[in-house]
Amino acid sequence: MKLVLAMMKHETNTFSPIVTDWARFESWGLYTGQAAIDAYGKTNMPLGVYLKLARDYGAEVVLPMAAEAMPGGLVTADAYQRMTDPILAAVRAGCDGCLLDLHGAMVVEGTEDGEGTLLEQIRAIAPELPIAVTLDLHCNLTPKMVGNCTALIGYKTYPHVDMDVVADRIGRVVMPVIAGQRKAPAMALRQLPLLSQTLCQGTDDEPMKSAIAACCAEEAAGLPAASVFGGFAMADIRDAGTTVITVGDDQAQADAAADRIAAKVWDKRDIHIYQHRDLAESVAKAKQLSDGPVILLDHADNCGSGGTQDVMKVIAEVLRQGLEDVAVGAVWDPEAVQAMQKAGIGATVTLELGGKSDIPALGLKGKPLKLTGRVRTITDGEWIVRGPMYTGFKVMMGPTAVLEVDGRMQIVVVSRHHEPWDTGVFRSVGIDPEHKRYLLLKSRIHYRAGFAPLAKATFTLDGEGATTSDNSILKYEKLRRPIYPLDRINDWNA
């Protein structure tokens, strides 16, 4: 048996000004061949599981591409071709099956559906090839993706701590097809007219908690696989939004389960929409708490959804109100890091921190915050994830420094975008997060993977940025309509 394994992942925010080019993939982690096996073989990511399944079956493995970039704007056509060409060449050379670790929300110059286009191209080369696909919970699932693979599945947790579990499940559905031990399963897609907001998709909370429970119940009753994709509303494409996909032993089983799950998701559509709060009032309430750590979420500037990670509005308000013992993770500002490196540890510096990025899609101009502080730490920004999400993965934040302001706030400043889902963002620079009164994180939900066990309380702070949870201020031109809540709809399958 010969298998082609590959990873190609990017969550594209079409409102983000960040260019997602080849260099951005290289800076996060781009590997081929044996280097990819070495990088991911001992992780809990889908590629690590696929490698184990291949060993279990005694299969020969070809791994032409393992590429991922932090979310941002459109993927360039050049970067896309440089990722897909090796995958297509490996399939063209001949194989018995293909196991793919994809995201599901990649938008490329020239195609709204990066994953569906890749799968369609693979199918054109090998029409009968069994293909298994894992996708992120924030996938904007398209008919093209479903129609060009054998079976697919999505993560059931947000933060994504079950990547290995779902990859194993879908692998064990498709590997027997590759081995000729079972027929190909059937799939049923239900595309709901619902534009769910990412901040409302945490799987420990409603509405996703019960949606995932419905999927698990169907699987426990014998369905091979079931997934609910919350979708990614920060993409102005036709197929953005919430979907249900089921994998059944036959079409009737898949259809019945998909209808049951979709109805339950639609019944809770109102709580897929975030309710905004006044920033100053939220910070004032947080200030009243004495027992920490208290989590402060600057969710509108989350680089994990394509934010620039340099909007200073929330940080400025926290400083204005005088909160004490605050650690910030993290601000993207390579120029500030260079200035702190030049000054050296212990030096006092005055910086125009952050605010280097304009966000034209939202009409926002970059607004740096002038701060004077002490350079506390300088590192290379490299560390290994020890928490439950991306376990074993090597993070490369680039040259990193900590600026301490007025003895009240320690700001981790990075040269590469990185969402703080693991405590390593602080521990790697000498900050013990469990002993801070406040942890100000540029994150939405993924922070829970590493920080939820520490939190005494959590506040969502409604600032500004390319990952705003106010979809009403976004200009959608390509999104299919009608769709809730932009339009009033009563019946999901009308």
DSSP letter assigned to residue 437: S
As a whole number of angstroms, the distance between CA 88 and CA 192 comes to: 32
- The residues with which 332 forms a beta bridge, in sequence order, are 414
pLDDT one-digit tens code per residue, 193-220 = 999 999 999 999 999 999 999 999 999 9
Residue 29: left (phi > 0), alpha (psi -120 to 50), or beta?
A: left
Domain residues of the chain, as ranges?
Answer: 2-272, 279-468
Q: Looking at residue 472, what is its pLDDT?
A: 81
Residue range 298-302: mean pLDDT, rounded: 97
pLDDT one-digit tens code per residue, 331-374 = 999 999 999 999 999 999 999 999 999 999 999 999 999 999 99
Q: Looking at residue 494, what is its pLDDT?
A: 55
Q: Write the CB contacts of 362 (distance below 8 Å, at least 6 apart in sequence).
A: 15, 464, 465, 466, 468, 473, 474
Q: Looking at residue 289, what is its pLDDT?
A: 96
Residue 490 has pLDDT above 90, yes or no: no
Maximal CA-CA distance, the chain: 69
Q: Looking at residue 462, what is its pLDDT?
A: 96
Secondary-structure class of domain 2-272 per CATH: alpha beta
Q: What is the mean pLDDT of the chain?
A: 96
For 328, phi then psi, to 5°, come to -110, 125
Residue 303 has pLDDT above 90, yes or no: yes
Adjacency order of strands within the sheet including 30-31: 30-31, 60-68, 2-9, 97-102, 131-135, 151-154
- Of the candidates 263, 357, 270, 266, the one whose C-alpha atom is nearest the C-alpha of residue 310 is 357
Residue 98 has pLDDT above 70, yes or no: yes
Residue 229 has pLDDT above 90, yes or no: yes
pLDDT one-digit tens code per residue, 233-255 = 999 999 999 999 999 999 999 99
pTM for this one?
A: 0.95
DSSP letter assigned to residue 99: E
* Helix/strand/coil for 291: coil
Adjacency order of strands within the sheet including 243-248: 186-191, 243-248, 225-229
Residue 46 has pLDDT above 90, yes or no: yes
As a whole number of angstroms, the distance between CA 338 and CA 109 comes to: 33
Provide the token pair at 39.
């990088």
Q: Looking at residue 470, what is its pLDDT?
A: 86
